[in-house]
Chain A
């Protein structure tokens, strides 16, 4: 995974208008005019946001000369979010694994004769 690629993705999505554009495009392609409608913004202002999304590889433009519809490119988004979700899930899974390691450490450190009775049934999961 390219770091610069992700940086661009994060930067592009740090803006609420651009996130709204992405959310709208997730429902299907749209022209700049259609995208500008729900926002209190001029078409050039919206075009600027679209350019940022295009540069981040999140949006591509169709070839139709009149409309040049904007389309969501899901690959960079999927890469960024899968890593991030992955982070959170990893944290949770690691701490669950750490619970088990700590149980073993505790058992090892108990006075020898008490080790057996100290092991709780089903204490690990």
Chain B
């Protein structure tokens, strides 16, 4: 079953994303940290694949994610640095796109809590500036949100 994703603002630079998965947290943690698994779900937009995924799972370790367009010769890349790893419950890392879309480094804390065999992921994203965060929320409220709810309705009807 698909659970709904929630995305809410917190403070002036943060966004909190929550999503529940029907699996124990050891599995979810693995799916977040093993490159061969990450490659299968950390998708780019349609028409993009993820040819590069390397993860150095230790504090100070770096991860590299690269997406490439299947037809055009374009690619985009993201480098992350782990700050804290407590398997299977908590990951803190910073990340930055090669083309710095977010106007500076983003800090992400991902927490996995398990209840009755289901895992809830809580991802707190701290943007470099309030302006970037506000744009994310503003765009979400006005456009993305209704699309998400429409899709949720579709799912619930099934």
Binding site for B on A (CB under 8 A): 1-3, 6-7, 9-11, 13-14, 19, 80-81, 83-103, 105-106, 109
Contacts and interface: CB of A to CB of B under 8 A. Distances in A.
Interface stretch (B17-25, B53-61, B81-89): B17-25
Tell me if B's interface is mostly helix, strand, loop or mixed. Answer: helix
B142 to A, nearest CB: 9
A80 B23 contact: no
A96 B37 CA distance: 14
Contacts of A101: 31, 37, 40-41
B144 A89 contact: yes
B43 to A, nearest CB: 6
B101 A90 contact: no
Q: Which of B2, B41, B99 has the most CB of A within 10 A?
A: B41
A29 B59 CA distance: 53
A43 B85 CA distance: 54
Contacts, number: 100
A85 B22 contact: no
> How many interface residues does chain B have, given as a range?
35 or more
B103 A88 contact: no
B21 A81 contact: no
A2 B103 CA distance: 11
Given A81-B139, A99-B21, A106-B27, A91 B5 contact: yes
Contacts of B17: 91
A1 B147 CA distance: 25
A92 B21 contact: no
A78 to B, nearest CB: 11
A100 to B, nearest CB: 8
A15 B22 CA distance: 42
Contacts of A91: 5, 7, 17
